[in-house]
Amino acid sequence: MQQTTQLTLHENVQFIYELVLARMELEAAGVEFSTGENLRGFSTNGRLDHEHILRRSAYVRSIDRAGQECLLTDYHFIQQYNQTQSINQYLTHWFYPYKGKFHPQMIQALLGIIGLGPGDTVLDPFIGSGTTAVEAQLLGINCIGVDISPLCCLISRVKTQSWAHIDAIEEASEYVAPCARDIHQQRLFRAPDDIELPPGPVKDFFDLTEMIARSDKSRRRRDPVDAFVHNRDRMLASVRDHVEVKRTLGLTFGEVDIRNGDVRAMQIDPESIDGIVTSPPYSIALNYVKNDEHALTAMGYNLDDLSEEFIGVRGHGRERFELYNEDMRQAAREMHRVLKPGAMAAVVIGNMTYQGEEIDTTGMFTEACEDAGLTFERSIDKIIFGLYNVMQKEYILLFRKA
């Protein structure tokens, strides 16, 4: 008689969509199971690939079989490496307070649900703060991240590249120091004798440290020099954690390629991508240029020029929705072009409200994807709770290229 194996979910799993994704994770792994009465786990009498669940599951915390040792998943282990008070900001995920961040646990699950494994390549054409890139890297999945925002590209590079340059970053931290408390000054840190750090991962690290300090000054009224030092030290600790997780779990990191580019015309070969995980910009629900103007200005960019390039920001009034719809149709065509036949795309999106009227941007984008040649497979409601959420309800849409 087969012994029953219990699969217990993480304690932070609390929403219906998370239970749905947990079930889909197991289904994608070929596990036959039943849901426990308290909805906190699953049980199975069938064949179970323990190694796959332990290495890949985002929602299963442990595997427990009567009389045997309880086995904890890699994700449970990784969550412990957290320099913040938020359970979802482990490792480098917390770098920069970017609005509209992905939930990393959801992204890891979606990577498995759409069938990606080590050596495959995932594309996020709206890479944002780099959550998809970090999670793919941890799973050995290669990632191409594209974003029109130079700030997003900086954030994503630092989150995924710093671990390989930790010695050089730590060495530079001995002499790179904050030099002014005037937030309007062009730069807040310098090397001795005003020597500029050469372009690359080390300079990127300190550039992002400065942008976080500027954000702390702008949004929290913190002293920028104190914020620079505090965040630098926490960031260094998180990068060391990144290195430690890789070493302790014996991970082979996926390669990450972050590109400052436009989803409407990506420089990516046709049918070269194994899967897409992304979330399009939320049109007028959030002005990404205005929201991060303190950082973008410090980086030397003209905000008016950037606004003409950003999807969902360009245009005025209802014209903005028309331009948004046009841009998203082009984005859908590009996503279809670069996906391999049979490959899947997971898209997190929500509807907008304009002057009290709900705009069905979810339906608009679904239609755009179908017109581009992608087959709609499933929609999962994602209810959001929280004071700072831009939207209260999103949808996880799954498409497949025929």
- 3-state DSSP of 105-145: HHHHHHHHHCCCCCCCEEEECCCCCCHHHHHHHHCCCEEEE
Phi, psi of 36 (to 5 degrees): -65, 160
Q: What amino acid occupies position 168?
A: A
Alpha helices in 162-287, H assignment, sequence order: 166-172, 201-220, 224-249
Q: Copy the structure tokens of residue 263.
A: 């989803």
Buried-state track 127-142, b at ≥16 Cβ within 10 A, e below 16: bbbbbbbbbbbbbbbb
- By DSSP bridging, strand 256-260 and strand 357-359 are unpaired
Assess whether pLDDT exceeds 80 at residue 283.
no
Res. 387 pLDDT band, cuts 50 70 90: very low
* Each residue's pLDDT tens digit, 17-61: 999 999 999 999 999 999 988 889 999 987 889 999 999 999 999
- Spans of all domains in the chain: 5-77, 81-402
Please enumerate in sequence order all residues whose Cβ is within 8 A of that of 392, keeping only pairs 6 or more positions apart, or say none: 383, 384, 385
Mean pLDDT of 173-188: 61
pLDDT digits (tens, 9 = 90+) for 207-250: 999 999 888 887 777 888 888 889 999 999 999 999 999 999 99
CATH class of 81-402: alpha beta
Concatenate the DSSP letters of all residues of 193-214 into one string: GGPPPPTTHHHHHHHHHHHHHH
Helix-strand-coil percent breakdown of the chain, rounded to 5?
Answer: 40, 20, 40
How many other CB atoms are there within 10 angstroms of residue 215's CB atom? 21
Q: Is the pLDDT of residue 187 over 60?
A: no
Mean residue pLDDT across the chain: 89
The model's confidence at residue 100, banded by pLDDT at 50, 70 and 90, is: confident
For residues 239, 241, 247, 251, the Cα torsion angle rounded to the nearest 10 degrees is: -80
Residue found by looking up tokens 């001995």 in the block? 174
Residue 384 confidence (pLDDT): 64
